[in-house]
Amino acid sequence: MRDDTIYEDDDVKEAIRRLPENLCNYRVFLIKRALDLGMRQQILPKERWAEYEEDKFYLELYLKEIIQERKEREEWAKK
C-alpha cells in the first residue's frame, strides 16, 4: 500500500481524479481531520478510528488501472 498523500505522482493524481465523488470527499475529510489533529497535537480517540479494512486500498483499484493504461500507451509508442 502506498501513502498517496506523500507520494502524489501523475498516476496518483489521475487515480484521485477518477475517484467517485463520495470517496474523494471521504479522502479530503480524512486528510483535513489528520491535519487538524496534528496542529492541535491530539490523537483521535480509538472509538473514532476507521477499521483498516474500510480504508485500505480505496485508491488501489484505480491506480492499478491507470498504471496498466500507461504501460499500454508506452508499448504502443515503442511500435
Of 57, 78, 70, the C-alpha closest to 14 is 70
pLDDT at residue 10 is higher than 50: yes
| SS3 label, residue 2 | coil
Give pTM, 2 decimals: 0.71
Q: How far is CA 63 from the centre of its chain?
A: 9
pLDDT at residue 2 is higher than 60: no
* Residue 63 placed within a domain: yes
- Residue 19: CATH number of its domain: 1.10.1090.10
Q: Per-residue confidence at 38, pLDDT binned at 50, 70, 90?
A: very high
* Residue 1 placed within a domain: no
Residue 26: how many CB atoms within 10 A of its CB?
16
pLDDT at residue 57 is higher than 90: no
Cell reading at 48: 473514532
Residue 29 to residue 26: CA distance in whole angstroms: 5
Cell reading at 68: 496498466
pLDDT at residue 20 is higher than 90: yes
Count of domains forming the chain? 1
